[in-house]
Amino acid sequence: MTGPLLGLYKIFVFWFLIGIKILLVIIMIRIKQRTRVASSLSHTWNNILCFRRHSSVFNILYLKATEILHLKHREREMYTCSPSNTLLLGFPSPTTKNTFKAFRDYRCIALPTGLTCGYKELSGRLSYLYSQRLSLHGKAKHHATFSTLLQSENPTTTNTDEEMDNIGIMGLDPGLEPFKDHFRQRTQQYMEQKSLIEKYEGSLEEFAQGYLKFGFNKEKDGIVYREWAPAAQSPSSWLGPSTVAISGFSVVEHFWVGFYFETEREAQIIGDFNGWDGSNHRMERDQFGVWTIKIPNSGGTSVIPHNSRVKFRFKLGNGTWVDRIPAWIKYATVDPTKFAAPYDGVYWDPSSPERYEFIHPHPPKPKSPRIYEAHVGMSSSESRINSYREFADNILPRIQANNYNTVQLMAVMEHSYYASFGYHVTNFFAVSSRSGTPEDLKYLIDKAHSLGLRVLMDVVHSHASTNVTDGLNGFDVGQSTEESYFHTGDRGYHKLWDSRLFNYANWEVLRFLLSNLKYWLEEFKFDGFRFDGVTSMLYHHHGVNMAFSGDYNEYFNEATDVDAVVYLMLANILIHNILPDATVIAEDVSGMPALGRLVSEGGVGFDYRLAMGIPDKWIDYVKNKKDEEWSVNDIMLTLTNRRYSEKCLSYAESHDQSIVGDKTIAFSLMDREIYSGMSCLTDASPTIERGIALHKMIHFITMALGGDGYLIFMGNEFGHPDWIDFPREGNEWSYEKCRRQWNLVDADHLRYKFMNAFNGAMNSLDDKFSFLASTKQIVSSSNEEDKVIVFERGDLVFVFNFHPENTYDGYKIGCDLPGKYRVALDSDAWEFGGHGRVGHNVDHFTSPEGIPGVPETNFNGRPNSLKVLSPPRTCVAYYKVEEDPDDSGDGELAGITNSGYVSLQGDFEKSASEDLSEPEAVEIEMEDASDD
């Protein structure tokens, strides 16, 4: 066929195909009408919804604009939802590469309000399709403020531009106005994700009960085990053009709705109970990749005994069988007699009396947290791993005696590599078995609650161990990210940490992580969390090679991982819904604005953020600067450089400054002499004098000026020598430096007791005056020549003299309130290893300065002043005596002890439930910086 005939033939074929496609569309519309589901054809065709192509789902490339093909795992049903109920199956051939390229990077779902759903069935087996990067269209029927939308139990998923303009955080920080679109987009995504969860799971709390469905769960007549493992299958076959059945109606043959038909899938549960032979315990897989088996009781008892080993066995695409520890396992153990032996999952279901029952309620939330960061395993004074029960009986009383109100436990989640400090988690629902059983950990937490101590857990949701044999990474066998807990490729791997990175947009990953939080709160009665590695979560670059300067453009750009931000918003909402008084802390070095603001305001929802720049500053000073080079202005600016609308936890050192290759502050200050010069039986050397004095000053000014709460790592309160070095090949697997030498602080003839006593007195001072909870913070003087910092926090006046030699007698300092002042805490007191140079029974009377209400006429901007004695390398806090004409003049305090701090005797009772939601105005003689 040549010439004109060929041209006519091509035209005929072209228009014939067009006609066929139009005819098919008409047929589909008629079929949809027969489903009797309400339709609305008012939507436009402007938007295209698509899903990433992978080996077990339909290659859906075109859907009508605001319609949804939402295949949701719930009671093994598949939902197809659409407001118009008009599904367009105008699919191109899968060989049309250009078309595929245009859509391969998008995964979206639109969810208009008033959506109705009908049950549909699709031939073949479809893997679970989850919602990602949601896009909303349409308008809400009635107006509401942004805050109301976010606080609503069932917020509408569509809203007007006017509503989204009312973002509360913008009123607090006008500097965020240029980034309003970013806040709108991430908040919109949060609202959509939460709405979908509520729609298909009932509520966020119900969604987070995955541990009651997945893993091993005991029922009356047996044990049900479920595992999400869509990759457990053999190679799939592409069937090409196929018939699609919808609601029982045959559509048409030879539609390009190509799908993969999975030819074989197989998985088993194995363990001690069946001799590790799973041939009689094969599991069934549903269309969403969830494997299930119910093992009936035998003779009224469970076939799987308590504390017996179990594993999940499944077949790879090449026919190879692999064994993995169940992802939701609640206990995992290893044979300690075998070097580098693999872990085994353990079925944990103790009966009475082995099952621990909590006795004591959660302690009330303190005005400000004073946190003792602890690692149970290394808390023994012996060269071994300590147990939960030993920690509870021996260490908790020490923490209480030092007047801390909160314990933060590290390394709780199971981690096969001990030297990872607990940060390379392998089993997220399992208690670390090195220190005992789940019941032992419950005993520890209940004991802490009985002592009035709240317990926070160091939770690691920023990454996971790459360990394939023992950990969650074993479920990643090369499948797509939609069927994995992690991202694929470079996005799924943290090169510096050698760890895997979660896909926070995946529905089952959200279920897994949110359920993990609820599990620890509900089953173990934790009082909150410290989220590790938040900076890595917030940005695609993970903070690597980033020097955050405080420029807002660094926080809100294409590098921000919005999926992770949305997860953290959901996590904080969930935690506070379960436990309203929970304390949730973010470990973030970037200083991202709004991280510590309420979700209802457009924030991420954390209660506190760690002021991570402070310890870096102290380490720099004690290691690299001579005394005369210490700048009190630089110290003051570092301590006050934070966002005052967001609460910070200050600390001079944590576990990070204690690990091998680094030194603690005490070790840096005193170096080798810390081993030989700490005896009270001889005079202290200048190095020891200086070291102890500065150790007290550094921790106290960090606490008093650096934030709204305080944290210290186990042992640093008394200047523990050495670094921390976990057993490893490089130290011949020694535990010598992986312990805490409590005998040093207990020895009455050693000077460690002085630093310990002062640390406890600092906490007692806050117990009495609640200065950490006060937002009244005024730095009245930072004198470089004198090397003296004077500031007020709450009702106290603090004087820090960093000069190595100069004593200032009659040193004039400013204050707010007139009256009589006395010493509340003195680092130079005898009981703190000082020289007792400051008189504790001396009354300091104020003098008025200038014209009241005219700061420029006052002394250092303060309306009153008093004169004090300030010896070198000392710090003193003064309180105003409340005078009563009917008493002896000592005021409301019972008296001042010889140790130099306020006695807590009397009828004082702190109110831990006081409402601090209405902060006072912050006053500070400096520019309010944007980040910490």
For residue 109 the two structure tokens come to 């779902």
Q: By the 8 A CB rule, do 608 and 583 touch?
A: yes
CA distance 287 to 918: 52
Q: By the 8 A CB rule, do 289 and 267 touch?
A: no
Residue 198, C-beta contacts closer than 8 angstroms, at least 6 positions apart = 153, 154, 204
Residues paired with residue 268 on neighbouring β-strands, in sequence order: 282, 313
Instruction: Give the 3-state secondary structure of 143-201.
Output: CCCHHHHHHCCCCCCCCCHHHHHCCHHHHHCHHHHHHHHHHHHHHHHHHHHHHHHHHHH
From the list 259, 206, 266, 254, the residue with the least C-alpha distance to 237 is 259
Q: Is 476 a catalytic residue?
A: no
State the CB neighbour count (10 A cutoff) for residue 886.
4
- Residue 291 sits at φ, ψ, to 5 deg, of -95, 140
β-pairing verdict for 528-531 and 583-586: parallel
From the list 796, 772, 817, the residue with the least C-alpha distance to 910 is 772
Residue with tokens 């609650």, as numbered in its chain: 449
Residue 343 DSSP class:
P
Q: Is 532 a catalytic residue?
A: yes
Which of 440, 470, 527, 532 is an active site residue? 532
Q: By the 8 A CB rule, do 399 and 446 touch?
A: no
State the CB neighbour count (10 A cutoff) for residue 391.
27
CA distance 541 to 535: 9
From the list 70, 40, 51, the residue with the least C-alpha distance to 200 is 70
Reduced to 3 states, what is the DSSP secondary structure of residue 108?
A: coil
Q: Where does residue 6 rank: exposed (0-12), middle (13-18), buried (19+ CB within 10 A)? A: exposed
For residue 402 the two structure tokens come to 């030092």
For residue 527 the two structure tokens come to 């009082």
From the list 762, 839, 819, 820, the residue with the least C-alpha distance to 793 is 762
Show the DSSP H helices in 57-160 as ranges: 97-103, 146-151
User: What own/partner pairs with CB < 8 Å and gap ≥ 24 does 547-555 have?
Assistant: 548/589, 548/590, 548/591, 548/931, 550/591, 550/929, 550/930, 550/931, 552/175, 552/176, 552/178, 552/179, 552/593, 552/930, 554/590, 555/179, 555/590, 555/591, 555/592, 555/593
Q: By the 8 A CB rule, do 526 and 407 touch?
A: no
Instruction: Give the count of alpha carbons within 13 A of 292, CB side only.
Output: 14
The amino acid that residue 682 corresponds to is T
Query: What is the chain's alpha carbon radius of gyration, rounded to the nearest angstrom?
Result: 32
Strands (E), 670-723: 709-713
Residues paired with residue 866 on neighbouring β-strands, in sequence order: 813
C-alpha to C-alpha distances, 674 to 677, 691, 744, 843, nearest whole angstrom: 6, 9, 11, 38
State the CB neighbour count (10 A cutoff) for residue 440.
19
Residues paired with residue 650 on neighbouring β-strands, in sequence order: 710
Q: By the 8 A CB rule, do 765 and 777 touch?
A: no
Q: Where does residue 95 rank: exposed (0-12), middle (13-18), buried (19+ CB within 10 A)? A: exposed
Q: By the 8 A CB rule, do 551 and 177 touch?
A: no
Reduced to 3 states, what is the DSSP secondary structure of residue 752?
A: helix
Q: By the 8 A CB rule, do 900 and 832 touch?
A: yes
Which of 587, 689, 725, 849 is an active site residue? 587
Residues with catalytic function: 532, 587
